[in-house]
Amino acid sequence: MLYSSQKDPLNRTILKRLNPLFPEMSDMETWDVIIIGAGSAGLSAALYTVRSGLGTLVLDEKIAGGTITNAPTIVNYPGFLEISGAELAQKIADHAQKFGAVIHEIETVTALNLHGEIKTVTTPTATYNAKAIIIATGSHYKELGVKGEQEFRGRGVSYCGVCDGPFFRGKHVLVVGGGNSASITTLYLSNLVAQVTLIHRRETLRAEQSLVDDITNKTNIKILWNTEIQEIKGDKQVRTVTLKNNKTKQTQELKTDAVFVQIGEAPNSQLATASGVEIDEHGYIKTNLHQQTNLPGVFTAGDITNHPIKQVGTAVGQGITAALEAYAYIRQPYHKKHPIETITPISKTEKTSKP
Ligand SMILES: Cc1cc2nc3c(=O)[nH]c(=O)nc-3n(C[C@H](O)[C@H](O)[C@H](O)COP(=O)(O)OP(=O)(O)OC[C@H]3O[C@@H](n4cnc5c(N)ncnc54)[C@H](O)[C@@H]3O)c2cc1C
């Protein structure tokens, strides 16, 4: 999407790297709100902060759009019967930008100082000030942690079916996992490759029934139940995996061209934790109905939070709430003078749900 260059024809990032020649570029920029993460949550928040009149900078270490760009098809986002994740992400980003959000892509936030009225956000090329911060850094794919996984990463080991599936047209690939993400990836790949084998360590899938039905009806999908990967082997690329049945304890070697790992996500909360933001025992940022964190002026939204549901719709809703609460925090309008509340932790027994 390359919003940075569109909004910033002088290319501020390059000028900052040439700092001695352009000393004025080293001045700290001050924004009303800085949003960390340009996924569904961060971009929705940006739409609402700019429409409330707050100067808003959105920073993302990648291209704007976030995780949803990896979803082949979205059929459960209200208002769209069917839309690709990439197109939906593009629409949300365009919407926020049209109303004035400034989006800097490929700019990783490396440090935060969240104490005091003015917060500081540091990236490799700049330091910014803001009155309020919204942390919407989402999550990343969990790894299997088996031998060969790191060695063959990018050479047959992948965490994104939409990104890498087309490289394996007509081949045999494995998908590891048993939830919605694994099921969606399996179905997507089954339309591209000759054969998909789904490796699941339990004996039933934990996916929506409609996905399970679709998988059952596909002739080129095989499921190996109670099975775990022990090792990924190959030469220049993946060739075989060693599988172990966790009931019978038998092992087998299976030929494959790729391994797609879809065993869940873990929160991108290291940055927040290092800055004093409270997380729960699973690493998700603790929040309440107002999307507040334990620090005044610091809000959070989307998959990074301890909200039990992880969907685009919930990320969008939380982003909107965070934005309007940030507005209330900064402007203190007459109708919204509630004090900063103490976080109400969500029950430990509630589970998160991925599509
Ligand atoms: C395969 C798959 C299919 C899915 N299908 C569906 C579906 O059909 N329907 C549905 O509703 N949901 C679906 N989801 C879930 C949905 O994608 C997420 O719930 C949603 O995208 C979360 O949005 P977010 O903004 O919270 O996080 P993200 O979209 O993950 O955005 C977080 C952003 O923060 C950025 N970031 C992280 N750290 C930093 C940093 N230090 N500095 C700067 N930027 C940073 C990341 O680059 C990223 O762009 C699916 C997910 C997957 C993986």
Predicted local distance difference test score (pLDDT) of residue 304: 98
* Residue 36 falls inside a structural domain: yes
| Separation of CA 342 from chain center | 27
Strands 251-255 and 238-245: antiparallel
* Residue 311 falls inside a structural domain: yes
Domain boundary, last residue among 261, 289, 312: 261
* Residue 75 falls inside a structural domain: yes
The pLDDT tens digits of the residues spanning 174-200 come to 999 999 989 999 999 999 999 999 999
Pair 234, 205 in one domain: yes
Predicted local distance difference test score (pLDDT) of residue 10: 42
Nearest ligand 1 atom, CA 302: 26
Q: What is the pLDDT along the chain (355 residues), one digit of tens a residue?
A: 545 434 444 445 444 444 444 444 445 789 999 999 999 999 999 999 999 999 999 999 999 999 999 888 888 899 999 999 999 999 999 999 999 999 999 999 999 999 999 999 999 999 999 999 999 999 999 999 999 999 999 899 999 898 899 999 999 999 999 999 899 999 999 999 999 999 999 999 999 999 999 999 999 999 999 999 999 999 999 999 999 999 999 999 999 999 999 998 899 999 999 999 999 999 999 999 999 999 999 999 999 999 988 899 999 999 999 999 999 999 886 655 555 555 555 444 444 444 4
Cβ-Cβ contacts under 8 Å for 288 (sequence gap 6 or more): 341, 343, 344
Instruction: Specify the CATH number for the domain of residue 206.
Output: 3.50.50.60
Cβ-Cβ contacts under 8 Å for 112 (sequence gap 6 or more): 36, 119, 120, 121, 122, 133, 271, 272, 274, 275
Predicted local distance difference test score (pLDDT) of residue 343: 59
Pair 180, 246 in one domain: yes
Predicted local distance difference test score (pLDDT) of residue 7: 45
Pair 58, 132 in one domain: yes
Report the C-alpha dihedral over residues 21, 23, 26, 32, rounded to 10 degrees.
Answer: -120
Predicted local distance difference test score (pLDDT) of residue 2: 47
* Residue 112 falls inside a structural domain: yes
Q: Is this prediction's pTM over 0.95? A: no
Pair 47, 109 in one domain: yes
Pair 132, 271 in one domain: yes
User: CB neighbours (10 Å) of residue 332?
Assistant: 9
DSSP 314-329: HHHHHHHHHHHHHHHH
Pair 30, 12 in one domain: yes
Domain boundary, last residue among 261, 289, 321: 261
* Residue 205 falls inside a structural domain: yes
Written as six digits, the tokens of 273 are: 């934790």
Q: Is 234 in the pocket of ligand 1 (CB under 6 A)?
A: no
Q: Is 189 in the pocket of ligand 1 (CB under 6 A)?
A: no
Nearest protein CA to atom 27 of ligand 1, as residue: 138
* Residue 145 falls inside a structural domain: no
* Residue 150 falls inside a structural domain: no
Domain assignment of residue 319, given as a range? 4-140+265-351
* Residue 147 falls inside a structural domain: no
- Catalytic one of 27, 60, 94, 164: 164
Nearest ligand 1 atom, CA 64: 49
Greatest Cα pair distance, the chain, in angstroms, is 68
Predicted local distance difference test score (pLDDT) of residue 28: 75
Pair 271, 184 in one domain: no
Strands 265-267 and 139-141: antiparallel
- Catalytic one of 8, 94, 160, 214: 160
Nearest ligand 1 atom, CA 74: 8
Predicted local distance difference test score (pLDDT) of residue 163: 82
The pLDDT tens digits of the residues spanning 97-153 come to 999 999 999 999 999 999 999 999 999 999 999 999 999 999 999 999 999 999 999
Pair 272, 256 in one domain: no
Select from 48, 69, 103, 137 the residue to mutate for testing ligand 1; criterion: most ligand atoms less than 8 Å from CB. Answer: 137
Pair 44, 109 in one domain: yes
Cα(68) to ligand 1 centroid in Å equals 5
Predicted local distance difference test score (pLDDT) of residue 3: 55
Pair 41, 117 in one domain: yes
Pair 279, 136 in one domain: yes
Pair 31, 107 in one domain: yes
Domain boundary, last residue among 222, 241, 261: 261
Domain tally for the chain?
2
